[in-house]
């Protein structure tokens, strides 16, 4: 990759990704409201929320909590940046998990039962989806013969045709990561109905909450980019795939209640992990 | 010993619009014990009744609870009428029945919405509350206001229903029935809802009797108990059977309430068909004297009033025992051993009305 | 800054606390969130967490016990914040005014900015009050600390 192009991607990541992520969040809230027969907030609502939160008086339970919030945002931005620069997929997912771990540590650093139990649930979620991500990387390596993200662009046919089951098993991971029903166990950003109040983010307020919100936008863009990897040969296909995923998740969010974590682990490991393993095994035998 | 966490569940909490506190003692995510703390909504209504004029106490009774306000005025008016020996005109009795059933409808729909909300099913919550607005429209059209209507009074009712109001009611009931027909299969068949409710919050029939459960909580455990069978107002002339489920869990209690909505619609239709002509209000003179016990069926179960009057302007004693108070011991029994994620649903499954309990 | 006030006006997050009373206003407040009235079209969210909220909606009459909770919730909210007393009970105590354990109005416990006297307050009226509260929120530029509020460094 040429030097100016790389610089362009870095700038775009910093400036464009939050705009796209914010608009997508706004779109998602609007779609959910329409599905429920409501008018819903304007498309630019997330930006109002962000600016408002940023200018509220900061309040933190302890200093270390603040460090973890910044770490969360930093790792989230870094993983997106590395992805767009076409770096090592294994490394990227590793950094991505780091972002979640930072949030968990932040939640555990406070002596609030809501935050603590929220963090414990987040750990369970991490354990639940991490094997699928590892299998995704393995499958990716089998098809492309490389861990580099940039390799996917030079394939003859999209990854989707060789890894359809892995893509399906990625759906629950996506739902867990964007904290949507039925797997919104640890916290929800915009729906308040939780036995744990706000779970892991209960103790954050003002600007720190704004940072978590911002990180969630980067996260959304990163996850959608990861989905579009499955059709990386053609940018139209990639966008289409990401859009289908996005709306599927929004609709699923709307038609399911929250499940308990034991059910989630069972379901994701049986169905999600099962599908991914079948796909990987099939690649081994068929090749 | 495992590490125990204490979670203050309430008094301010999103799944509850009302303040009650449960100190949940957890081992991991399992509840070992629940200690309810009451008193956040105490207003001293029973004491106020001994100071206020007994006719004004009617309005106080209405404001015991905003969800079942009609039921409380009905019980109070009936109690005073029994004390003073007033015979209410038959038309007024039918009107009271219609309004009581409308009140039950809106209360049950409200509960269904909150229950959906408690298990994180936001879309269902919105749809149920949309159907509830139809009921509120009926209440507003026939009674003049959404919540505090003041339509039932001592000696009859303050309003009469004209032919066009009745037509409006019948028309809207059809709307409501359609909406409920859409909602019912979701509550009864949705696999994820079943997964969250079946077997959660078990209360066996024996336990329900022992701990004194009333209303839908008792009926969900297979006890056919319904105070409406006493035949107060016009219920004696409307033929109906209580809805009973035998699954003894949150799912059963949920189904009881959903099915009772259809039952209420039927009762309103029957009452409108049988509505006799005539006056709706008789004049009340004198002051009450003596003692009386009045029991009626609230949306949440049996409501018991004990009134004692000594011929004064105000009552000597007014004791209110509300259904939620009777259902609290079963609730504490159910919550023990439950998962934290199920606590909101179990708590809601008895349809807590803290405003009633604490008065 | 104009764009900050504009953002504040368009994204007020709510915290609802029922202090007592009959629930009527509380239920009407929840009804205002549902499809027919839909508060979210004004960007309002019912957060349920004092640390995230901008507007404290108080419904019902305040007694000694719930007053303590109300005060606690108010102190946990970050500035700028606005308190709306919904319903006549929260404004003055209403029909329960003579009760032996009640404070006559929520303003005896927390500084109330807006009063909505109604029994029970209709959802339309609640929406109107909340929009006015959002305007107030936009005007406050880190409002002066209320006299009886604890200093920030003492907050736990």
What per-residue confidence (pLDDT) applies to C153? Answer: 40
Q: What is the pLDDT of residues C123-136, one digit of tens each?
A: 999 999 999 988 88
What per-residue confidence (pLDDT) applies to A71? Answer: 92
Q: What is the pLDDT of residues B126-170, one digit of tens each?
A: 889 989 999 998 998 888 888 888 888 888 888 888 888 888 889
Cα dihedral: B46, B48, B49, B51 (round 10): 140
Average pLDDT, chain B: 85
Q: Does domain B42-358 match CATH 1.10.645.10?
A: yes
Mean pLDDT across A88-101: 89
What per-residue confidence (pLDDT) applies to C94? Answer: 81
Q: Which 3 state secondary structure label does DSSP give C60?
A: coil
What per-residue confidence (pLDDT) applies to B156? Answer: 84
For chain A, the structural domain boundaries read 3-286
What per-residue confidence (pLDDT) applies to C154? Answer: 38
Chain C hits for B353, Cβ within 8 Å: 23
Residue carrying the six token digits 């706000």: A198
Residue among B232, B220, B180 at smallest CA distance from B301? B220
Q: Tell me the nearest-neighbour CA distance from B24 into chain A, angstroms.
A: 11
Share of chain B above pLDDT 90, in %: 1
Peptide bond into C120 cis (omega under 30): yes
d(CA C47, CA B126): 17
Question: CA nearest A115 in B: which residue?
Answer: B7
Chain C hits for B44, Cβ within 8 Å: 96, 99-102
Mean pLDDT across A66-73: 90
- Backbone CA torsion sign across B344, B347, B352, B357: negative
pLDDT at residue C51 greater than cutoff 80: yes
Residue among C119, C102, C136 at smallest CA distance from C59? C119
Query: In which order are the strands placed within the sheet that holds B4-9?
Result: B4-9, B21-27, B30-37
Mean pLDDT across A128-135: 88
Angle, helix A113-144 to helix A164-177, in steps of 10 degrees: 160
DSSP character at residue C54: S
d(CA A49, CA A43): 12
Confidence grade of residue A75 (pLDDT, cut at 50, 70, 90): very high
For chain B, the structural domain boundaries read 42-358
Taking an 8 Å cut-off on Cβ atoms, the answer to whether A197 and C48 are in contact is yes
B341 touches chain A (CB under 8 A): yes
d(CA A138, CA A142): 6
Taking an 8 Å cut-off on Cβ atoms, the answer to whether C100 and B44 are in contact is yes
C72 touches chain A (CB under 8 A): no
**Angle, vertex CA A187, rays to CA A186 and CA A189, nearest 5:** 160
Beta bridge partners of B117: none
Q: Please give the residue that has the higher pLDDT: either C90 or A152.
A: C90
pLDDT at residue A194 greater than cutoff 70: no
What per-residue confidence (pLDDT) applies to C63? Answer: 84
pLDDT at residue C146 greater than cutoff 70: no
d(CA A170, CA A224): 11
d(CA C62, CA C19): 5
By mean pLDDT, which of A273-282, B20-29, B322-331 is the weakest? B20-29
Beta bridge partners of B291: B308
What per-residue confidence (pLDDT) applies to A195? Answer: 63
Chain B hits for C20, Cβ within 8 Å: 19, 40-43, 355
What per-residue confidence (pLDDT) applies to C144? Answer: 45
Q: What is the pLDDT of residues C19-45, one digit of tens each?
A: 877 888 888 888 888 888 888 888 888
For chain C, the structural domain boundaries read 8-140
d(CA C55, CA C81): 6
What per-residue confidence (pLDDT) applies to C141? Answer: 53
Q: Please give the residue that has the higher pLDDT: either A45 or B233.
A: A45
Judge whether B53 and B288 are in contact, CB under 8 Å.
Answer: no
Taking an 8 Å cut-off on Cβ atoms, the answer to whether B340 and A261 are in contact is no
Q: What is the pLDDT of residues B287-332, one digit of tens each?
A: 888 888 988 888 888 888 898 888 788 888 888 888 888 888 888 8
Range among A1-10, A28-37, A153-162 with highest mean pLDDT value: A28-37
Residue carrying the six token digits 């998962």: B339
Which element (helix H / strand E) includes B32? strand B30-37
Average pLDDT, chain C: 81
A60 touches chain C (CB under 8 A): no
- How far is the CA of C110 from the CAs of A36, B69, C113, C149, C150, in angstroms? 36, 29, 9, 9, 12
What per-residue confidence (pLDDT) applies to A189? Answer: 63
What per-residue confidence (pLDDT) applies to A234? Answer: 78
Average pLDDT, chain A: 84
Judge whether C103 and C93 are in contact, CB under 8 Å.
Answer: yes
Q: Which 3 state secondary structure label does DSSP give A184?
A: coil
Taking an 8 Å cut-off on Cβ atoms, the answer to whether A39 and C38 are in contact is yes
C81: its two tokens: 């914040």
Confidence grade of residue C152 (pLDDT, cut at 50, 70, 90): very low
Judge whether B291 and B307 are in contact, CB under 8 Å.
Answer: yes
pLDDT at residue B283 greater than cutoff 60: yes
ipTM attached to this prediction: 0.84
Best of C13, C17, C18, C98 to mutate (most B CBs within 10 Å, chain B): C18
Confidence grade of residue A74 (pLDDT, cut at 50, 70, 90): very high
Beta bridge partners of C58: C17, C85
What per-residue confidence (pLDDT) applies to A70? Answer: 92
By mean pLDDT, which of A156-165, B340-349, C145-154 is the weakest? C145-154
Q: What is the pLDDT of residues B42-101, one digit of tens each?
A: 888 888 888 888 888 888 888 888 888 888 899 999 888 888 888 888 888 898 899 999
Cα dihedral: B240, B242, B245, B248 (round 10): 180
Q: Does domain C8-140 match CATH 3.90.650.10?
A: no
Which of A195, A197, A258 minimises the CB distance to B343? A195
């Amino acid at each position: 990759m040429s030097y100016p192009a790389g610089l362009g991607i870095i700038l775009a990541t910093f400036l464009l990704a939050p705009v796209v992520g914010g608009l997508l969040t706004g779109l998602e809230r609007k779609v959910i409201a329409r599905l429920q027969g409501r008018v819903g907030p304007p498309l630019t609502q997330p930006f109002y929320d962000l600016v408002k939160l940023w200018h509220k008086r900061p309040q933190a339970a302890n200093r270390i909590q603040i460090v973890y919030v910044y770490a969360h945002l930093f790792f989230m931005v870094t993983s997106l940046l590395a992805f767009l620069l076409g770096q090592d997929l294994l490394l990227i997912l590793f950094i991505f998990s780091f972002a979640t771990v930072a949030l968990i540590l932040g939640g555990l650093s406070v002596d609030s039962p809501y935050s603590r139990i929220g963090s414990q649930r987040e750990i369970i979620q991490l354990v639940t989806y991490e094997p699928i991500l590892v299998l995704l990387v393995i499958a990716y390596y089998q098809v492309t013969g490389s861990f580099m993200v940039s390799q996917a662009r030079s394939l003859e046919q999209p990854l989707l045709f060789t890894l359809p089951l892995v893509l399906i098993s990625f759906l629950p991971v996506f739902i867990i990561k964007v904290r949507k029903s039925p797997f919104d166990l640890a916290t929800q950003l915009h729906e308040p109905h939780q036995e744990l109040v706000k779970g892991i983010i209960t103790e954050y307020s003002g600007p720190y909450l704004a940072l978590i919100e911002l990180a969630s936008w980067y996260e959304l863009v990163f996850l959608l980019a990861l989905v579009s990897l499955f059709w990386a040969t053609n940018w139209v296909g990639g966008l289409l795939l990401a859009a289908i995923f996005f709306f599927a998740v929004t609709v699923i969010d709307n038609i399911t209640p929250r499940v308990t974590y034991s059910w989630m682990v069972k379901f994701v490991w049986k169905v999600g992990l099962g599908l991914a393993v079948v796909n990987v095994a099939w690649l081994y035998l068929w090749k | 010993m495992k590490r125990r966490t204490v979670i203050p569940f309430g008094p301010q909490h999103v799944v509850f619009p009302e303040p009650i506190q449960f100190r949940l003692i957890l081992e991991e995510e399992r509840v070992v014990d629940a200690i309810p703390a009451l008193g956040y909504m105490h207003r001293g209504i029973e004491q106020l009744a001994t100071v206020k004029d007994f006719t004004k106490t009617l309005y106080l009774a209405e404001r015991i609870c905003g969800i079942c306000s009609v039921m409380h005025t009905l019980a109070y008016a009936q109690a005073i009428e029994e004390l003073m020996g007033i015979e209410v005109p038959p038309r007024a009795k039918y009107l009271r029945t219609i309004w009581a059933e409308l009140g039950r409808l809106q209360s049950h729909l409200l509960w269904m919405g909150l229950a959906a909300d408690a298990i994180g099913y936001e879309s269902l919550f919105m749809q149920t509350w949309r159907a509830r607005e139809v009921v509120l429209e009926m209440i507003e059209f026939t009674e003049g206001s959404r919540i505090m209507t003041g339509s039932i009074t001592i000696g009859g009712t303050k309003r009469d229903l004209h032919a066009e109001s009745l037509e409006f009611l019948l028309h809207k009931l059809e709307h409501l029935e359609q909406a409920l027909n859409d909602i019912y299969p979701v509550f009864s068949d949705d696999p994820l809802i079943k997964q969250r409710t079946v077997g959660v919050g078990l209360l066996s029939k024996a336990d329900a009797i022992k701990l004194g459960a009333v209303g839908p909580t008792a009926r969900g455990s297979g006890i056919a108990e319904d105070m409406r069978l006493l035949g107060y107002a016009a219920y004696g002339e409307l033929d109906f059977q209580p809805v009973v489920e035998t699954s003894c869990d949150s799912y059963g209690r949920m189904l009881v309430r959903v099915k009772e909505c259809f039952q209420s619609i039927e009762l309103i239709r029957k009452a409108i068909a049988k509505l006799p002509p005539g006056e709706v209000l008789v004049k009340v003179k004198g002051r009450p004297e003596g003692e009386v016990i009045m029991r009626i069926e609230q949306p949440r179960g049996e409501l018991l009033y004990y009134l004692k009057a000594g011929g004064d302007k105000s009552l000597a004693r007014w004791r209110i025992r509300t259904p939620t108070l009777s259902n609290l011991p079963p609730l504490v029994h159910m919550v023990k051993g439950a998962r934290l994620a199920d606590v909101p649903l179990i708590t809601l499954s008895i349809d807590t009305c803290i405003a009633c309990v604490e008065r | 800054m104009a764009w900050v006030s504009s953002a504040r006006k368009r994204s007020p997050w709510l915290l609802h606390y029922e202090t007592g009373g009959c629930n009527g206003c509380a239920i009407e407040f929840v009804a205002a969130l549902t499809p027919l009235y839909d508060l979210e079209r004004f960007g309002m969210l019912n957060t349920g967490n004092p640390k995230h909220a901008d507007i404290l909606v108080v419904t019902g009459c305040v007694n000694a016990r719930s007053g303590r909770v109300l005060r606690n919730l108010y102190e946990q909210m970050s500035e700028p914040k606005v308190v709306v007393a919904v319903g006549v009970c929260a404004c003055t105590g209403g029909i329960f005014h003579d009760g032996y354990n009640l404070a006559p109005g929520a303003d005896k416990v927390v500084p109330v900015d807006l009063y909505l006297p109604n029994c029970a307050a209709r959802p339309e009226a609640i929406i109107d009050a909340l929009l006015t509260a959002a305007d107030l929120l936009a005007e406050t530029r880190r409002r002066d600390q209320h006299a009886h509020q604890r200093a920030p460094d003492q907050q736990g």
